[in-house]
Amino acid sequence: MSVAARRNSGRSVVQVARFARIAGVAASVAACGGGASSSNGTAATAPAATAAAPKATVLNASLSSPWSLAFLPDRRMLVTQKGGTMLILSADGARTEATVNGLPAVVASGQGGLLDVALDPEFDASTNPWIYWTYSEAGAGGNGTAVARGKLAGTTLTDVTVIFRQAPKVSGEGHYGSRLAFRADGTLFVTLGERQQDDPSNPGLDHAQNVGNHLGKVVRIRRDGSVPADNPAFGTSGAAPELWSYGHRNPQGAAIHPVTGELWVTEHGPQGGDELNRVQGGGNYGWPLRSYGCPYGAPVGDACRVGGGTHAPAYVEPVSYWVPTSIAPAGLMFYTGAGFPEWRGSAFTGALAGQALWRIALDGNAEASRERLFADLGERIRDVRQGPDGWIYLLTDSGKLIRIDR
C-alpha cells in the first residue's frame, strides 16, 4: 500500500504486545541464522527471551491540566500546569515536592496559560540554572505567546526576563503554538500559532503568510532574546528578523532530530490535515493557502482540501499528514533510548482529539510507516518526552503523568 493510501485509510489500533512479539521473533531468527544446530553438531544456543511488551504505568493522577515536562539533572521533573503553576515532582513522579515561585502572570483562558518549559542546554543547578518557558501574556490588542527565562534557585525563579513577545497581540483564546526546542548551537526555536486569525475561505485573512508579523511562524532567537545574524533573509523589507519559517497553523510539537540537528514540528490542521513537518530555514508551509484538511463546515473529502491539498512546488510538503480525521497532535519526541530498541529513531507525538500515542517510523527524512499506540488509555496526550532512564513519559489533559516501560 502506498504512503498516500495509508494516510487516507482509517488505521486500527496497533496491538503493542503483538508488535513486540513479532519484533522479538524476527530478532531471534536473524541472530540464529535460521539454523537449528552448530557446525560441530552441538545444539545451538536457544534464542534470547522475547522482550516484554510495552506497557503504560500511571505515576501520578493528581495534576491539573499539565502542559509540559522537563527533567532536572537529578531526575526530578518540572511540570507546567496551564492554570499558571509550575511544579517540581519527585524523581519517581509520584509526589509534588514544591511549587515554583516567581512566575509572571499568565492569561489562563481557552488554550492559553502556562505552556512549555525547557532547561538551558548547559543547565547546572549551581553555575547555570536558567530555565525557559512560554505562556500567554496580556497586552495592548489582546494577548499572545511570550517566552521568559529565569534562574531556578531552589523553588524560586530569580532574574526573570521576558526574552520574546509574539507581535501583534490579538483577541482570542486559541492557537498559541508555544513549543520550545534548543538547537545544537544554543539558539532557541519557538513555535507560534496564527491565533485563529486566518481563514482559508477568506483570502484577506492570511496572517501566517505575512513575514512582517509573528502569527503562524517559527522564530529563532538567542538565549538572551537577541536575533542570530544567520537567520533566513525573506527578501522583503519589513520582515521580522526573528523568523525562521512561516505558513504554520498551530504547531504544538517541536523536537530536534538527533542525527541531522534539524527542527521538526507537529501542527494542527483544520478538519483533517494535521502535519508532521521538517522545518527548513526560510520555508513556507502553506497555511492558510494549502492544507490536506478541509475548511470547517465543508464536507470531508479530497475535493474540499484547501488549495487542492498538494503543497509542492510552491510550499513545503509535510513528512506525514492525517486525513480525513484530525488527531490534534501535541508534543514531539525522537526516541533514542535503550528501553525500546525496536522504536529507536522513530518520532512520537501525542494526540488530543485522537486520544493515542503515534509512532512514525522514518526512512531518512521520509515516513516509512506509522502506528497508533495506547488508544485503550482513552487519554488526550498533551506532551511526550524521553526520560533519562530511557522510558517514555506522557502528560495527559486529565492530569496524569504516565510512563511507558516494559
Q: Does the residue 9 lie in any domain?
A: no
Q: Does the residue 366 lie in any domain?
A: yes
Q: Which residue has the higher pLDDT, 12 or 164?
A: 164
Q: Does the residue 201 lie in any domain?
A: yes
Q: Does the residue 10 lie in any domain?
A: no
Q: How many CB atoms lie within 10 A of CB 185?
A: 11
As a whole number, the mean pLDDT across the chain is: 90
Please tell me the total count of domains within the chain: 1
pTM across the whole model: 0.89
Q: What is the mean pLDDT of residues 14-41?
A: 36
pLDDT tens-digit profile of 196-209?
A: 999 998 878 999 99
Q: Does the residue 40 lie in any domain?
A: no
Asked whether 128 and 159 are in contact (CB, 8 A), the reply is: no
Pick from 87, 157, 151, 165: nearest CA to 123: 151
Whether residue 265 is predicted with pLDDT greater than 90 in this model: the reply is yes
Asked whether 83 and 105 are in contact (CB, 8 A), the reply is: no
For residues 143 and 107, give the distance between their C-alpha atoms in angstroms, rounded to a whole number. Answer: 8
Q: Tell the residue number behind the cell numbers 522504536, with chain if given.
A: 343
Asked whether 385 and 371 are in contact (CB, 8 A), the reply is: no
- Of 17-31, 224-238, 270-284, 359-373, the one with minimum mean pLDDT is 17-31
Whether residue 336 is predicted with pLDDT greater than 90 in this model: the reply is yes
Q: Does the residue 44 lie in any domain?
A: no
Residue 265, domain extent: 18-28+49-405
pLDDT tens-digit profile of 243-255?
A: 999 999 999 999 9
Q: How many CB atoms lie within 10 A of CB 75?
A: 14
pLDDT for residue 202? 87
pLDDT for residue 49? 63
Q: Does the residue 13 lie in any domain?
A: no
Q: What is the mean pLDDT of residues 304-311?
A: 95
* 3 state SS of 95: coil
pLDDT for residue 48? 53
pLDDT for residue 165? 98
Q: Identify whether 257 is a catalytic site residue.
A: no
pLDDT for residue 36? 33
pLDDT tens-digit profile of 44-84?
A: 455 556 789 999 999 999 999 999 999 999 999 999 999 99
pLDDT for residue 140? 96
Q: How far is CA 228 from the centre of its chain?
A: 24
Q: Does the residue 38 lie in any domain?
A: no
User: Which one is catalytic: 175, 214, 248, 311?
Assistant: 175
pLDDT for residue 4? 42
Asked whether 222 and 187 are in contact (CB, 8 A), the reply is: yes
Q: Can you give the CATH number for the domain in which 311 is found?
A: 2.120.10.30
Percent of the chain with pLDDT over 90: 84
Whether residue 264 is predicted with pLDDT greater than 60 in this model: the reply is yes
Q: Tell the residue number behind the cell numbers 475535493, with chain if given.
A: 303
